[in-house]
Amino acid sequence: MSEIVIYGVPGSPFVRTVQMGLDEKRAPYRLDALQPAGSKSQDHLNRHPFGRVPVIDHDDYRLYETQAILRYLDASFPEPSWQPREPRAIGRMNQIIGINDWYFFPKVAAVIVFNRIVGPVLMGRTPDEAAIAEAMPMARICIGELNRLLGDQRFMVGDRLSIADLMLAPQLDFFADTREGAELMRATALAGWLARMNERPSMQRTQRPENLRQAA
């Protein structure tokens, strides 16, 4: 299998999800690292007209949208599968991916992680406390729901790693480094799940750059 190229900003949770996925599948890849502003460069807009990361190139096949990339990787490297077969488990996995993509990332992480860590570290910005406070009700709903859906399972859906775990782990690992995330996740089953995910070599080998790893 030829090397897959990931275009992405190091430390971006969606990029880390794809890195983790490739690491889990033991598939060769290379990260073509973009600067944060690079996602809006013309070169990158030619790859991804919405100006986001990640994008992958696999030979002459180009793909963006993280969950689509993971489904492609799972189809290309079938064992072990990341997708359950039982209908209710499939529904649950897709529900969790939707919570991440529609609520947690855009309405919580993109506000709280950005204001607490990314903005101050990479752009010298002062956190917008009003924006953080405004995001907190949605943060409580997201963490409450994800914790409820996890319940006492080992992984987000049953006893095997799925796309839901790969989508969420980099997001919640970053969020847990903010004071709001740490507080909301304290003593939850979700914190135990994150600790188990953090023991995986795929998490350890895809750490955020050091400057984005300091709790805020």
Ligand X SMILES: N[C@@H](CCC(=O)N[C@@H](CS)C(=O)NCC(=O)O)C(=O)O
Contacts of 164 (CB under 8 A, 6+ apart): 92, 93, 96, 97, 100, 155, 156, 157
Q: How far is CA 87 from the centre of its chain?
A: 24
Which of the ranges 11-19, 152-160, 180-188, 195-203 carries the binding residues for ligand X, by CB under 6 A?
11-19
Which of the ranges 23-31, 51-59, 90-98, 202-210 carries the binding residues for ligand X, by CB under 6 A?
51-59
53 near ligand X (CB under 6 A): yes
Interface residue with ligand X, options 19, 66, 83, 202 (CB under 6 A): 66
Closest CA relative to residue 39, chosen from 61, 22, 15, 58:
15
- Minimal distance, residue 68 CB to ligand X, in Å: 8
Give the chain's end-to-end CA distance (angstroms, integer): 41
Subset of residues 114 to 153 that bind ligand X, contact rule: CB under 6 A: none
DSSP for 35-91, written as a single string: PGGGGGSHHHHHH-TT--S-EEEETTEEEESHHHHHHHHHHHS-SS-SS--SHHHHH
- Of 12 and 83, CB closest to ligand X: 12
80 near ligand X (CB under 6 A): no
Rounded distance, CA 21 to CA 83, Å?
13
Of how many residues is the chain composed?
216
- Of 5 and 189, CB closest to ligand X: 5
Which of the ranges 12-20, 114-122, 136-144, 201-209 carries the binding residues for ligand X, by CB under 6 A?
12-20
- Of 92 and 208, CB closest to ligand X: 208
- Minimal distance, residue 160 CB to ligand X, in Å: 22
Contact residues toward ligand X (CB under 6 A) are 12-14, 39-40, 51-53, 65-66, 101
